[in-house]
Amino acid sequence: MERIVLTIGYVPEDNSLDIIYCGDSDSSGTMELNFEVVENICSGVDNDFNISIENSDLWDHNSSFYKSISTYVSNYLNLVISPSQVYGSYALLNDEPDNHSLNMEIIDSEAGTFSNENKEHNGKIYLRHYFEEDDEIYDESICIFSVN
């Protein structure tokens, strides 16, 4: 089975940990949600989000997909994350940055973990993306951006 996996999370201002583990918010002291895109459905891995999408929706910052997922994540995190920010992160992590990606930065990561030394990412949103096929993970990367 092929799938795209997205993790969207927030590192709280008061986080005291030096390593953030995407997919393990309890150990990282973060708040995050995980999603998967399989065929024409984006569903929550650890939540009840579910929306039908077309592949073209992933490349349209005005798509109902980005409006829905940004609203869902914003409500969960109690922060405002715009559809353009989620789209910009996705585009950047897929080597297609555009003007929606300008305030985002790809950070060094390995196996879904990234450094938070000196609390450099506290108060920021992160988005992890990877492609999975036959239980193998490809092109895993993480970007961060500041909350509006």
Beta bridge partners of 92: none
Q: What is the pLDDT along the chain (148 residues), one digit of tens a residue?
A: 799 999 999 999 999 999 999 989 999 999 999 999 999 999 999 999 999 999 999 999 999 999 999 999 999 999 999 999 999 999 999 999 999 999 999 999 999 999 999 999 999 999 999 999 999 999 999 999 998 6
Q: How far apart are CA 134 and CA 139, in angstroms?
A: 14
Give the global pTM. Answer: 0.95
The tokens for 21 are 């583990």
Phi-psi region of 75 (alpha: psi -120 to 50; beta: other; left: phi over 0): alpha
